[in-house]
């Protein structure tokens, strides 16, 4: 595994508009290592900013996000920002995160609760991915397979292909870049590898677009390895690492928190008129 940019945090940063609490929402995983990587990132975020920071998971592991946010609300914060540490705006952001925001507002009406956007498509995150690709010990690679989680949400799926295009711009048109998914959507990992091979690729870097390790990242490795063993001996494959431990991911998190604190969120299902009723009075 390559090195990561894990710079020491700067002096604790005061946030605007009286934000005195931040809750980091994670997806959740059955992987102990993946869970620990997320919680380590939360600790480093806590060292970067002045508000009290809490965290919890949507599913699969503890602490559950509702139980964890209850603990944070016991301190009666004046302004709470719920910040999803999630790469793209699929159902967990649009449904689970919005539901958690509504829950917090009902639980503590005296607390101003804001909901931040996903990490999204950001130059710093593209650079994180590019760095991991460059760290793969596969000289003279000719192609990149970018593998996303996959979703039933077509917007989130389409964003992966935009990210792939931005990575292509960084590496140049001589490098083939394809996108695929490990679950819930097509093309699959095998589909992506097959397409690259049909285009003449011989040295492929498989790059997970994930923050932390877990069962799905393991499956990416397994499916790519199985494809190679299935009569593709002339093709070499190298694997990039996840990007979540890079300091730049936390820098983007702080950007999203600051946006939410001032009500300047570019995309948040909390303010979407097409979602269910919230305590702001907007209804479907």
Q: Are 189 and 196 in contact (CB under 8 A)?
A: no
pLDDT at 275: 47
Q: Which pLDDT does position 266 carry in this prediction?
A: 58
Residue 282 is predicted with a pLDDT of 36
Contact 114, 263 (CB under 8 A): yes
Cα 216 to chain centroid, rounded? 14
Beta-carbon count within 10 A of 133 CB: 24
> Vertex 261, ends 149 and 244: CA angle to 5°?
30
pLDDT tens for the chain, 284 residues: list them: 444 555 545 557 788 778 999 999 999 999 999 999 999 999 999 999 999 999 999 999 999 999 999 999 999 999 999 999 999 987 767 889 999 999 999 999 999 999 999 999 999 999 999 999 999 999 999 999 999 999 988 888 999 999 999 999 999 999 999 999 999 999 999 999 999 999 999 999 999 999 999 999 999 999 999 999 997 889 999 999 999 999 999 999 999 999 999 877 755 454 454 444 444 443 32
Look at residue 278 in the predicted model and tell me its pLDDT: 45
Domains delineated in the chain: 21-119+245-271 (3.40.50.1400), 137-239 (3.40.50.1400)
From start to end of 139-269, where are the E strands?
143-148, 176-181, 203-208, 236-239
User: Is pTM beyond 0.75 here?
Assistant: yes
């Amino acid at each position: 595994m390559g090195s990561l940019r894990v710079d020491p945090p700067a002096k604790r940063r005061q946030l605007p508009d009286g934000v005195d609490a931040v809750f980091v929402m994670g997806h959740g995983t059955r992987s102990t290592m993946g869970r620990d990587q997320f919680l380590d990132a939360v600790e480093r975020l806590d060292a970067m900013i002045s508000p009290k920071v809490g965290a919890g998971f949507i599913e699969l592991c503890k602490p559950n996000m509702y139980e964890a946010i209850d603990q944070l609300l016991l301190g009666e914060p004046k302004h709470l920002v719920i910040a999803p540490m999630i790469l793209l705006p699929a159902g967990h952001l649009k449904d689970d995160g919005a539901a958690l925001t509504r829950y917090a507002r009902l639980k503590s009406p005296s607390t101003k609760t804001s909901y931040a956007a996903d990490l999204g498509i950001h130059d710093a995150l593209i650079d994180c991915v590019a760095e991991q690709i460059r760290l793969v010990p596969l000289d003279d690679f000719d192609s990149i397979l970018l593998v996303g989680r996959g979703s039933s949400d077509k917007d989130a799926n389409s964003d992966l292909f935009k990210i792939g295009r931005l990575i292509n711009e960084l590496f140049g048109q001589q490098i083939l870049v394809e996108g695929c998914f490990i679950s819930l959507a097509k093309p699959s990992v095998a589909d992506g590898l097959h397409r690259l091979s049909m285009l003449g690729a011989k040295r492929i870097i498989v790059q997970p677009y994930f923050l932390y390790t877990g069962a799905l990242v393991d499956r990416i490795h397994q499916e790519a390895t199985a494809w190679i063993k299935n009569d593709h001996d002339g093709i070499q494959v190298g694997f990039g690492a996840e990007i979540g431990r890079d300091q730049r991911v936390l820098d983007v998190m702080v950007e999203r928190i600051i946006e939410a604190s001032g009500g300047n969120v570019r995309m948040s299902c909390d303010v979407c008129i097409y979602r269910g009723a919230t305590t702001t009075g907007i209804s479907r």
